[in-house]
Amino acid sequence: TQPKAYRAAILHSLGDPAQVGLEASHAYYPDGVLVVADGRVRDIGPADEVLARQPAGLDITRFENRLITSGFIDTHIHFPQTEMIASYGEQLLDWLNNYTFPEERKFVDQAHGARVAELFLDELLRNGTTTAMVFGTVHKASVDAFFTASHARNMRMIAGKVMMDRHAPDYLLDTPESGYADSKELIERWHKKGRQLYAVTPRFAPTSTAEQLALAGKLLAEYDDVYMQTHLSENQQEIEWVKSLFPEQKGYLDVYDHFGLLGDRSVFAHAVHLEQEEAARMGETDSVISFCPTSNLFLGSGLFDLPGAEQRGIRVGLGTDVGAGTSFSMLQTINEAYKIQQLRRHKLHPLKALYLATLGGARSLRLEDKVGNLAVGKEADFLVLDLHATPLMQARMNNAHNLFEQLFVLMMLGDDRAIAQTYIYGECRYRRDH
């Protein structure tokens, strides 16, 4: 296909500011050009340089007052919880029993799953999220519905069927054998089909028997490039419960460790109450944490120690954790991440936040050679941002003096209204209609 060029200001992440410093952590071209061909980035840089080396007659779309950046990466979200976001009043365990399980029951019906998957993917696109790591429900049909929809849109998604064989209503339980067989069937059907990838998904330690966790480990041993996703140390009551259910293990993380569930493709949501030894073990095994600020605040779970994880060399991504999270917007997620770090007397720099929401997320999901920034050769998932999306943003931006300030204002005031367009694999899949 003919290459297409997009001209606007361009900003993307090149590295973790904590590792390479603020300057080297990003590239910014006030007047930049991005060239896309066959779904991939062909060229990027200052407009004069790119245009000089590209053939004449290039098809150029010019955006005024817009900022192009790479798509956001949400490392933890539940698609079946889309229609129960903002459920009142409870912390984790009661929230699961009173709201979540009854909602997830509906996904026994594939048609219901198909409808919610479309709504969910629409919502991701309108918020500029181009890749996510996604929970289904216990029902195999929920994951078929999800991947059918995400594959049709050519979005790079990781998802899996929840495995849970105890401590939930009967209508939501599988068995060790059926959970294993259904997961295997889904891996065979969807893993690496187009841009789709599979994650073995034990919900969390309390809802799986030892037998089921062992079979989850067996799946990971059988398929060396599938992912694992679960929840870890989110809530004090949850942690006590895990200790009472698995008294022979040293603690919460050790339960997963015992069954072979740690590793560089294993993503643990929350981890807000890790013990020192557990944090060290996460680092040793190159396991990943998904930091879910809006969820951690909404359920009153706790304040994640980001610098602590960083010091251990643990890879961290950002997650919305919808429907315990209260927004699909990664901008709003950054907003609350910033405030959580403030309460911990730590400053979350906007360039670090950009890294976490893009390249850091890609590294967390072992997708750094495919997405996460707009380096030449990567898959062209990118956003056209409107820094003047609201009257307040416009007024505030006019009073911002440099990129750093503009980016911070975007992160504090921005949400879906700031996403003017979302491109997937070089194609515009969402356009704000005003």
Could you list the residues that contact ligand GUN (CB under 6 A)? 78, 92, 96, 100, 203-204, 231, 234, 295, 321, 324
For strands 26-37 and 427-431, give the pairing: unpaired
Residue 297 or 356 with smaller CB distance to ligand GUN: 297
234 binds, options Fe ion, ligand GUN, none, Cβ within 5 to 8 A by partner type: ligand GUN
Minimum CB separation from ligand GUN for residue 271, in Å?
12
* Through-space distance between the first and last CA atoms of the chain, rounded to whole angstroms: 29
Minimum CB separation from Fe ion for residue 269, in Å?
5
Give CA angle at 245 (244, 251), nearest 5°.
70
**CA separation for the pair 234, 92 (Å, rounded):** 8
204 binds, options ligand GUN, Fe ion, none, Cβ within 5 to 8 A by partner type: ligand GUN
**CA separation for the pair 119, 80 (Å, rounded):** 10
Residue 69 or 207 with smaller CB distance to Fe ion: 207
Residue 25 or 295 with smaller CB distance to ligand GUN: 295
Minimum CB separation from ligand GUN for residue 154, in Å?
27
Contact at 8 Å (CB) between 159 and 150?
yes
Is 16 a binder of Fe ion (CB under 5 A)?
no
Residue 220 or 269 with smaller CB distance to Fe ion: 269
**CA separation for the pair 300, 179 (Å, rounded):** 31
Minimum CB separation from ligand GUN for residue 61, in Å?
40
**CA separation for the pair 91, 300 (Å, rounded):** 6
Restricted to residues 227-286, the positions that interact with Fe ion (CB under 5 A) are 269
Residue 176 or 202 with smaller CB distance to ligand GUN: 202
In three-state secondary structure terms, 224 is coil
Q: Which of 91, 365, 325 is nearest to 228 (CA)?
A: 365
Residue 96 or 187 with smaller CB distance to ligand GUN: 96
Restricted to residues 166-225, the positions that interact with Fe ion (CB under 5 A) are none
Restricted to residues 276-335, the positions that interact with Fe ion (CB under 5 A) are 321
**CA separation for the pair 11, 359 (Å, rounded):** 12
Report which residue's Cβ sits closest to Fe ion. 321
Minimum CB separation from ligand GUN for residue 357, in Å?
19
The structure tokens listed for 176 are 């060790």
Residue 366: CB atoms within 10 Å:
18
Contact at 8 Å (CB) between 110 and 77?
no
Binding site for Fe ion (CB under 5 A): 269, 321
